[in-house]
Amino acid sequence: MEQTPPSILIVEDSQVLREVYSGYLATEPYRVAAVETGAEALAALARHPPHAMLLDLRLPDMDGMEILRHVGAQRLPTAVVIITGHGSVDLAVDAMREGAFDFIEKPFNARRLRVTLRNALERQRLSSLLDSIQETFDRDRYHGFIGASLAMQAVYRVIDSAAASKATIFITGESGTGKEVCAEAIHRQGPRREAPFIALNCGAIPHDLMESEIFGHVRGAFTGAARDRVGAAGQADGGTLFLDEIGEMDLDLQTKLLRFVQTGSFQRVGSTRQEAVDVRFVCATNRDPLKEVAAGRFREDLYYRLHVIPIELPPLRARQDDILLLAEHFLQGFAAEEGKAFQRFAPATAALLRDYHWPGNVRQLQNVIRNVVVLHQGETVDPEMLPPPLSEHLITPPRTPLTEPTQPAPTTAAPPTTPPTPGIQPLWRVEREAIERAIAHCDGNIPRAAALLEVSPSTLYRKRQAWQSGEG
């Protein structure tokens, strides 16, 4: 599939050997470059990662293992083949553990080198093919996220591209849309994944304790400060600091936070000593940050410091296709946890879940399913099992055939979308049900269903598409 010839980088401090190896590869269809030092190798990797690298572990300026680790940490698409001295099997094993594709023991002949590199290139080709397939094809899970909708694919892609950098990420979204899930995904997707992820909820901590929570304090700084304490900023050194509900932070503290974000250093409460740390900031709020700025509750300079890469999590109602995916996932999880037999949703239940507007988003959906599993028995979730406010949306679908009189809806307080007159439903719902019934009757064959309904198949396709994108 590759049009350009594969590129190979030889990293070897001996000039004689560099020439020998390049000579061995002269007959192969490769673009071969050779460098002498670790620094040159890193520079070459930064410019243009080769498809494969032949790496001597003993270099004048650094341990070759460092370069190998760099390739792994940066997820470079380079297959590394290590050159080891005779008898240094331990080193070779270490290198394989660090992600080397293969090792080749000195001295080796041309044939051995060509075969080893050919295998390495093949493996590199397959793994980048796999990567591109995974990237092109829609993902229905991503770290803690479940969701296959277009809106979520866009979120996954932003995280993919932003995770490796240190740039601050600013997550917005209604309550329960997964802002914390998002912050963790950023951390786990990036090179800091082994370092701490420290989450600080600025809304949950009393204002007068907040400064010490972020920056820590020294003994005696205030009443009750019996010993020195490391704050979230110190704990997150090398990792990620997640400032959740940043909109709740005091203006006073915002000033200190701004200084910290700008300089990477801070003072503990009661101390005059500056401490410097290396943290990646992720923050989140369910308020509209620009409104907060306009209202004077959020410092504008801090906002622009933090608002480098925005991620907006879509509300659940804007990704209707994800609702059932999530609901099924929660149903399985909670059923297993609670020792219940639930396996599926009745079609009418599924329709209710899909059409509800979910003001509390994924968290609300999670609670609804938990409620059903705890309070009911059976394998199928029937609409009657749904708790309020969903149960208020219960409608009794007209039975087939249509000539049979419909049952009056159970009379509870009428929600805004359900008309108060029993047996009468909004026209769109009647239409949608009629269409869905016809499609189900024809086992999903839309042209046949269209024929029965005496409309054109394209009408059905169009309507279904409109429902799926949340218009219907």
Q: Which is nearer to ligand ATP, 71 or 284 (CB)?
A: 284
For ligand ATP, what does the binding mask look like between residues 318 and 357, x meaning CB under 6 A?
--------x-------------------------------
Site for ligand ATP in 181-220 (CB under 6 A): 181
Give the number of other Cβ atoms within 10 Å of residue 95's Cβ.
Answer: 25
The reply to whether 360 sits near Mg ion by the rule CB under 5 A is: no
Residue 175 interacts with which of Mg ion, ligand ATP, none, CB < 5 to 8 Å by class = ligand ATP
Place of tokens 């600091």: 241
Residue 173 interacts with which of ligand ATP, Mg ion, none, CB < 5 to 8 Å by class = ligand ATP
- The burial of 454, by beta-carbon neighbours within 10 Å (0-12 exposed, 13-18 middle, 19 or more buried), is given as exposed
Site for ligand ATP in 363-382 (CB under 6 A): 363, 366
Q: How many residues does the chain have?
A: 472
**Cα torsion 344, 348, 353, 354: sign:** positive
Instruction: Single out the residue of 9, 24, 114, 22 nearest to residue 64, CA to CA.
Output: 9
Q: Helices 89-97 and 64-73 sit at what angle, rounded to 10 degrees? A: 20
Phi, psi (degrees; rounded to nearest 5) at 406? -80, 155
Please give the structure tokens belonging to residue 270: 């009661």
The reply to whether 362 sits near ligand ATP by the rule CB under 6 A is: yes
Candidate segments 112-120, 173-181, 257-265, 415-423, binder of ligand ATP by CB under 6 A: 173-181
- Binding-site size for ligand ATP (CB under 6 A) equals 17
Site for ligand ATP in 119-158 (CB under 6 A): 144-147
Closest separation in Å from C-beta 208 to Mg ion: 22
Q: Which is nearer to Mg ion, 180 or 237 (CB)?
A: 180
Site for Mg ion in 177-236 (CB under 5 A): 179-180
Q: With H, G, I as helix, E, B as strand and everything else as coil, classify residue 111.
A: helix
Q: Strand 274-276 relative to strand 240-244: parallel, antiparallel, unpaired?
A: unpaired
How far is CA 136 from its chain centroid? 15
The reply to whether 315 sits near ligand ATP by the rule CB under 6 A is: no
Candidate segments 175-183, 204-212, 367-375, 443-451, binder of Mg ion by CB under 5 A: 175-183
Q: Which is nearer to ligand ATP, 132 or 468 (CB)?
A: 468
Candidate segments 175-183, 185-193, 298-306, 420-428, binder of ligand ATP by CB under 6 A: 175-183
Site for ligand ATP in 268-287 (CB under 6 A): 286
Residue 437 interacts with which of Mg ion, ligand ATP, none, CB < 5 to 8 Å by class = none
Closest separation in Å from C-beta 313 to Mg ion: 10
Binding residue for ligand ATP (CB under 6 A) from 173, 190, 231, 398?
Answer: 173
Contact 456, 450 (CB under 8 A): yes
Q: Which is nearer to ligand ATP, 6 or 173 (CB)?
A: 173
Contact 139, 156 (CB under 8 A): yes
Instruction: Give the residue closest to ligand ATP by C-beta.
Output: 178
Binding residue for ligand ATP (CB under 6 A) from 7, 177, 240, 418?
Answer: 177
Closest separation in Å from C-beta 363 to Mg ion: 9
Closest separation in Å from C-beta 369 to ligand ATP: 11
Q: With H, G, I as helix, E, B as strand and everything else as coil, classify residue 105.
A: strand
How far is CA 347 from its chain centroid? 30
Closest separation in Å from C-beta 186 to ligand ATP: 12
The reply to whether 176 sits near ligand ATP by the rule CB under 6 A is: yes
Q: Which is nearer to ligand ATP, 80 or 365 (CB)?
A: 365
Binding residue for ligand ATP (CB under 6 A) from 6, 38, 50, 178?
Answer: 178
User: Cβ neighbours of residue 354 under 8 Å, at least 6 residues apart?
Assistant: 320, 323, 324
Closest separation in Å from C-beta 57 to ligand ATP: 43
Place of tokens 């080893």: 116
User: How do the residues of the chain divide into helix, strand and coil, expressed in percent and rounded to 5?
Assistant: 45, 15, 40
Give the number of other Cβ atoms within 10 Å of residue 50's Cβ.
Answer: 25
Residue 363 interacts with which of ligand ATP, Mg ion, none, CB < 5 to 8 Å by class = ligand ATP
Query: Is residue 311 within a helix (H) or strand (E), and if so which, with residue range?
Result: strand 309-312
The reply to whether 266 sits near ligand ATP by the rule CB under 6 A is: no
Say which amino acid occupies 418.
T
Instruction: Single out the residue of 209, 211, 210, 284 nearest to residue 245, CA to CA.
Output: 284
Binding residue for ligand ATP (CB under 6 A) from 8, 92, 156, 179?
Answer: 179
Q: Where are the alpha helices (DSSP H) in 339-360?
A: 347-355
User: Cβ neighbours of residue 147 under 8 Å, at least 6 residues apart?
Assistant: 140, 319, 322, 325, 326
Binding residue for ligand ATP (CB under 6 A) from 40, 180, 312, 321?
Answer: 180
Q: With H, G, I as helix, E, B as strand and everything else as coil, classify residue 149.
A: coil
The site for ligand ATP (CB under 6 A) is made up of: 144-147, 173, 175-181, 286, 326, 362-363, 366
